[in-house]
Amino acid sequence: MLILFDIDGTLLRSGGAGPRSMALAMKELHPPRHPGDEVDHEKLDTAGWLDPLIWRAMLEQLGHAIEEDRHEAFRRTYGAILAKIIEEESPVYALEGAGDAARWVHEHPDLESALLTGNYPETGRLKIEAAGLDPDHFRFGAWGSEAELRRGLPPLAIRRAAEELGLTVDPHQTVIVGDTPADIDCAHHNGCRVIAVATGRFTEDQLRPHGADVLLPDLSDLGRFQEAVDTALAAGPRPTRS
């Protein structure tokens, strides 16, 4: 069985350091020509987005053409700025119970724990370590730079489990733990199960209509999380969504 944890809003919070670092990277790479000609990251609703999509949205906000050959420069600049902000400000912290939940899955004889996130690999790992979470509790990651849309990440994670761990799992034996409607959507689209947690910017009432298999207020109660995993995995196959 495969348990895939989202990072931001599920395992940890970073006080907006990610979007702020991205905006600063855009300012460095695209110096403003006029006062106020800068990215306003607070106007972008990026919950559940992949990092490359946020980069494109910021370019569109500035009215710049999207040139894919400049993406790597943005990625490097963003990573360096984020690392500096984390070092100087320590804005990243683990959400209550997140470490215990990841440890329990890691130590469970019938479960494998991995990451499914919109982050780039290097910045996702940076956040995990800054939050004091053990990166060894996650066997691999399916990262935002590896798919065009979030819906493309679960199949990648399932393939990676087979290639790297020799673990053959069906989609309904795969549980995504996330905090946004996008996490629920990418799970349902691929026939996976999903545990939604209201630890990000969406409340339980906002998440409920999206139809998560289990909805939790947070990960603070390990026993409740364990029951949620059992419930999700016991539900059997589900049809995929278009």
Query: pTM for this structure?
Result: 0.92
pLDDT for 240 equals 53
pLDDT for 34 equals 67
Quickly state the pLDDT bin for 65 (edges 50, 70, 90): confident
Quickly state the pLDDT bin for 36 (edges 50, 70, 90): low
In this structure, the strands spanning 174-178 and 2-5 are: parallel
Residues 122-126: contacts with CB under 8 Å, at least 24 apart: 122/79, 123/18, 123/51, 123/78, 123/79, 123/82, 124/7, 126/79, 126/82, 126/83, 126/86
pLDDT for 234 equals 80
Query: Is pLDDT at 43 greater than 90 in this prediction?
Result: no
pLDDT for 242 equals 47
